Chain A
Amino acid sequence: MFKKALRALPIALAVAATAGPSMAEAPEDVLDALIKKTNNSPYLTQSPQNIMMMPDNPAWLVAEAGEILFKTPRGPKNASLEKCDFGKGPGVLEGAHAELPRYFADTGKVMDLDTRLVHCMKTLQGFTNDDPAIKKKHGSDSDIMKLQTYIGSKSSGVPWNPPMNHPLEKAMRDAGEVMFYRRSGTMDFSCATCHTQDGKRIRASVLPNVYVPEEWTKAISWPAHRTSHEHVRSSQHRVLECLWQMRYPNIKNGSDASIALISFWTDAARGQPAVVPDLKR
């Protein structure tokens, strides 16, 4: 019941300065509704064990650690992250992840949760790329994943709605779409090879279909605790893993190509509620 502890925490700390009442919905309830809506999609229902474990998702502990990190003054500038603008104004976390990636005028770039977080850790807290706080991108014990899990959890149940008003947002999404269908590498794979049919499997793993937004929303709901890794993972990490299977070379964390892919995949889940933190195989 880490979740309950997490929800009690803000009150205990009495720091609800910027956030209004939580509009986040419990991920297990969001998932349950999606399962009903899809008439038991084989992808959504493939692991009854994970579904049962959702209320006790180990990711909640990671989110809890993230909340403390978020609110604690840190770094050379001894500042907290409470003034970080994730697109809905400084300090507004509710629903922010559901509207990423988006264009940020202060950097002139389209950024996802990962890259925006790093941006704030640099500008507000004074961390540099060589600081462990920024350098370590993966694993439940990394600051980046703790913070992402906390911030992401504030969008649970919120429909994905990445803005497409700025021409750059649209350009990145459209290029990501081309990349999704672009075949290359030793095995001729594109993302579409594995993610455009209903209920197909690679070995025992049921694949989510990008054309079924009610399925796809769970696919792109990161951070998620991966039971096979025993770590919370990010969107960036999932991109990396699929590219590895595809025999593609390494992609850089937060690179424009990774953000284009994430822009397309988030748009494909538009209107469906985020399930964060999720629990995956």
Chain B
Amino acid sequence: MFKKTSTAAAVAAATSLLLITGGCSATNAGKTEAAKPAPAAAAPAAAAAAPKAKSVDYTAMSPKALAEYLIFESGSYELDQPTQEGTTGRARLTQDEIQKACSLMKGEEVSDKAREKVMALAAASIKYPEGGIKLGDWKKGRELAWSGFGYRTAHNPDDHSSREAGGNCYNCHQLATDRTGGDIGPSLTGYGKNRGSSPDMLKYTYEVIYNPHVYFACTNMPRMGATGVLNQQQIADIMAYLFDPASPVNK
């Protein structure tokens, strides 16, 4: 029902969810900030039918519809907050196809059909370096793998002009043992030493970093290449950190 944009949510809200409740106290939550009509969203008819006294009945919405309403229409988020990539908070909150397919509730599993779709979308997203996959500078890769800086906004936006965004790898992985990593993902200690650095292995690793859904549909690992957080040089540096025999990961 809710497609790409919040506009769709707004239309849905404006057409089917706005009720005139006549001041019934049980259903007037959100009355003050209700349906600031986004220009594109407010169909003239709906606007005319529900002028001042309109009020949104949260209890008449499905949990999913209400969640979308709260995110995009209730004035809860700073949707116009600028992002480092030049978009706004609204874009950050808007789901793409993979995010939608992978928002699984408790006990829910990704269907075979959805899995195939996610994997195909992931495969289509991957761009390879022109001269083939190469390893960069492991020392730079070490810092990139460690850094969790970048793209944070909310109350304390990261200033990318002061520092480049990092890869966050240590948030979820143990890599070299001289620093403490998390364990949302598997340990990558000894990665190159254990797996070798065949072209297939390099390609696999590049693809996992670029868009891990190509192998692990609906994984918790972010799509560092596909989202543009890491460029190809940075991926090459991080891969050197994983594969270079001189890297602490392989000591």
Report which B residues bind A (CB closer than 8 A): 25-31, 58-59, 61, 63-64, 66-67, 70-71, 74-79, 81, 83, 88-90, 92-95, 98-100, 102-106, 151-156, 168, 170-172, 180-184, 220, 222-223, 227, 229
Query: What is the interface of chain A, defined by CB distance below 8 A to chain B?
Result: 105, 108-110, 166-168, 170-172, 174-179, 181-190, 192-194, 196-197, 200-205, 211, 240, 243-245, 247-252, 255-258, 260
Residues in B with CB closer than 8 Å to A240 are 154-155
Partner of A183, one of B83, B103, B171: B103
* Alpha-carbon distance between A122 and B51 when the two chains are bound, in angstroms: 28
Report whether B77 and A248 are in contact in the complex, using a CB–CB cutoff of 8 Å.
Answer: yes
Known: A252-B77, A256-B29, A260-B67. A244 touches B183 (CB 8 A): no
Q: Would you call B77 and A174 a contact (CB within 8 A)?
A: no
CB distance from A28 to the nearest CB of B (A): 28
The count of A-to-B residue pairs whose CB atoms sit within 8 angstroms is 170
Given contacts A201-B183, A260-B70, contact A244 B29 (CB under 8 A): no
Closest to B220 in A: A193
Given contacts A171-B61, A178-B67, A203-B170, contact A250 B77 (CB under 8 A): yes
Whole-angstrom distance between the alpha carbons of A171 and B83 in the complex?
31
Q: Which residues of B contact A260 (CB under 8 A)?
A: 66-67, 70
- The 6 A-B residue pairs with the shortest CB-CB distance in the complex, in nearest-first order: A249-B89, A257-B76, A255-B76, A174-B63, A244-B154, A178-B67
Q: Is the CB of B89 within 8 A of A175?
A: no
Give Cα A219 to B74, complex, Å: 27
Q: Which residues of the partner chain A approach B29 to less than 8 Å between Cβ atoms?
A: 108-110, 168, 256
Q: Which residue of A lies closest to B165 (CB)?
A: A186
For A175, give its contact among B28, B66, B106, B171 (CB under 8 Å): B66
- The interface residues of chain B lying within 8 Å CB-to-CB of A190 are 103
A252/B184 in contact, CB under 8 A:
no
Given that A184-B93, A186-B222, A204-B180 are known contacts, is A250 also in contact with B155, CB under 8 Å in the complex? yes
CB-defined contacts of A178 to chain B, threshold 8 Å: 63-64, 66-67, 105
Please report the C-alpha to C-alpha distance between residue A197 and residue B185 in the assembled complex, in whole angstroms.
12
